[in-house]
Structure formats: C-alpha cells, structure tokens
C-alpha cells in the first residue's frame, strides 16, 4: 500500500509545476488584456473625448481611456498655425467616433498612435496626414508610413504653400 501512496503522491507532485505554469500563463494573459493594446498594430475603436493639443487626444474606448500622441508629425505649439491646427483636429474628431492604431510608446511611456476618422459623412481619413496636407503640421524628420503618405501630403502642402510652408524661409 505504501508503494501506491508514493506513486500517487509522485504523480501529484509531477503535475504540480504544470498547474503553477498554467496559472501563471492565465494571470499574464489577464494582465495583458487589462492593460490594453501593447503591440504595434493593435487597433481600438472609440470616441475622441478631449484634445490636449492638435497632436494629442484622449480616446474613450468604453472600458477606459487612452491619451494618444499622433505619430510622425510635428505641430507648432504656439501662434496662428497652432490655433488653426487645434481647430482643424477638433472639427475632424472631437466628440466623434475614431479608430486608433497603436504604433508604440515614447520614451516617457506615452502611447504613439495613428488616428483615423470614422465618420459616415467624410469617410475614413488619417488625422496626421490631413494635418500635414493642410500645412498645419510637418512630417517628423526621416519618418513616414509604409506607403509614403506623410511625404506625399507634405509635398502637396509645400507645393501649394499652405500653412507652415507659406513663408519662403521655412522651405
């Protein structure tokens, strides 16, 4: 009888680490789901509830909120173009449905994302590209998306001498 007990106990102890590993995997999964998108390319739909600046908005996705910094652009912080940029983004997304695509985190931990309109009247537009195309922002030096959308938008604004490209000394 002792042999059976030891055998049963050995089997129990053998499976114990498996149980602990499974519990750990489950906990890690739950933590990742609770934290939200952590991998580049993850998307969320929500409503833009607040603007901190023309390139930083708050997206409410129902279960929480994220502060998003639009990736790939530089927006003036002061002056008439900054005011126009704020108004432009406000008209485009504030209080409206939008989709964000997570691109990574800045060194300070801030979420960097692409933001798209989700409006039946104007269709789907990328906010950063629209800002650059209108001349209210510049493309970050050396940065672009896969298909060169920001470079193309910047060329349109520069050729039309819109916004930041209106002054000859800024070209």
Model confidence over 21-46: pLDDT tens digits?
A: 777 676 655 555 445 555 556 888 99
pLDDT band at residue 171 under the 50/70/90 scheme: very low
Does residue 169 carry a pLDDT above 50? no
State the DSSP H helix or E strand holding residue 101, giving kind and residue range, or none if neither. strand 97-105
Length of the chain: 171
State the DSSP H helix or E strand holding residue 17, giving kind and residue range, or none if neither. helix 2-35
For residues 154 and 142, the answer to whether their CB atoms sit within 8 Å is: no
Query: Per-residue pLDDT tens for 76-99?
Result: 999 999 999 999 999 999 999 999
pLDDT band at residue 9 under the 50/70/90 scheme: very low
Look at 12-16, 74-78, 92-96, 100-104 and tell me which has the smallest mean pLDDT: 12-16
170 burial (CB, 10 Å; 0-12 / 13-18 / 19+) is exposed
Query: Per-residue pLDDT tens for 146-160?
Result: 788 999 999 999 999
For residues 115 and 127, the answer to whether their CB atoms sit within 8 Å is: yes
Ordered by start, the domain boundaries in the chain are 1-35, 43-170
Q: Which fold has domain 43-170?
A: OB fold (Dihydrolipoamide Acetyltransferase, E2P) (2.40.50)
pLDDT for position 160: 93
Q: For residue 136, give Cα distances in angstroms to 30, 70, 106, 147.
A: 41, 13, 22, 21
């Amino acid at each position: 009888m002792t042999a059976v007990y030891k055998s049963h106990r050995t089997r129990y102890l053998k499976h114990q680490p498996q149980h602990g590993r499974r519990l750990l995997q489950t906990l890690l999964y739950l933590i990742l789901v609770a934290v939200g998108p952590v991998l580049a390319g993850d998307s969320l739909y929500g409503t833009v509830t607040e603007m901190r600046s023309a390139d930083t908005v708050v997206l409410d996705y129902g279960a929480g909120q994220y502060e998003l910094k639009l990736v790939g652009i530089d927006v003036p912080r002061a002056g008439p173009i900054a005011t126009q940029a704020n108004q432009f983004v406000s008209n485009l997304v504030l209080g409206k449905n939008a989709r964000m695509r997570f691109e990574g985190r800045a060194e300070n931990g801030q979420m960097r994302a692409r933001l798209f309109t989700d409006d039946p009247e104007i269709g789907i537009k990328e906010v950063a590209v629209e800002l650059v195309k209108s001349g209210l922002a510049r493309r970050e030096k050396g940065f672009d998306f896969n298909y060169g959308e920001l470079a193309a938008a910047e060329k349109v604004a520069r050729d039309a001498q819109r916004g930041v490209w209106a002054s000859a000394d800024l070209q």
